[in-house]
Homo-oligomer: A and B are copies of this chain.
């Protein structure tokens, strides 16, 4: 897998999240790694790229983020449907074996002390912009994207290649309960896709 991973320039990072995929958020603190599923993740700015994520009060991963000030936001694939559902429905507090039972494999990226979920289509390393009022009143966290990467089989040269990649690479889009949609077909206006 790692031979397929390439950096994504920060000025293209918004393209990883614009289409509204379900995400996995991972974090590390004091020797504990955890992953949660986050549907309510959205871009906040282009340059530098920033994101918002809504992290519920009881989430263990949120605690790690509050302490470390960093997290990885990654884009899971259709092949990771079950993993994404499980990671979203099992709490590390209830089950210390959560990651193993969900089939999560973590890997490292040089120079980033963060856990990355293997098999995803893209990863954004994020640094929290502390905004206590938002965090406490709305569970809304804002962060700057400090680096991004993609698996080039899914996203390369600044664009998604869902049409060419196998169907297992398609992004997931959550509705409720166990229902997700995969992303579908590309639709271009005459202006087409910029470089």
Cβ contact within 8 Å between B162 and A177: no
Least CB distance, A174 to chain B, in whole angstroms = 5
A179–B14 Cα distance when bound, in Å, is 13
**In which size bucket is the chain A interface?**
35 or more
Least CB distance, A180 to chain B, in whole angstroms = 5
Please provide the chain A residues from 135 to 188 with a CB less than 8 Å away from any CB of chain B in the complex: 138-140, 142, 158-160, 162, 170, 172-188
Interface code A18-35, partner B: CB below 8 Å = 1, 0 otherwise?
Answer: 111110000000000000
Cβ contact within 8 Å between A179 and B159: yes
Contact residues in B for A128 (Cβ distance below 8 Å): none
Contact residues in B for A139 (Cβ distance below 8 Å): 45
The contact sample of 23 A-B pairs, CB cut-off 8 A, is: A18-B39, A18-B40, A18-B174, A20-B20, A40-B42, A41-B42, A50-B138, A133-B133, A134-B134, A138-B142, A170-B184, A172-B187, A176-B193, A177-B191, A177-B192, A178-B189, A179-B193, A180-B188, A181-B185, A182-B184, A183-B183, A184-B184, A184-B185
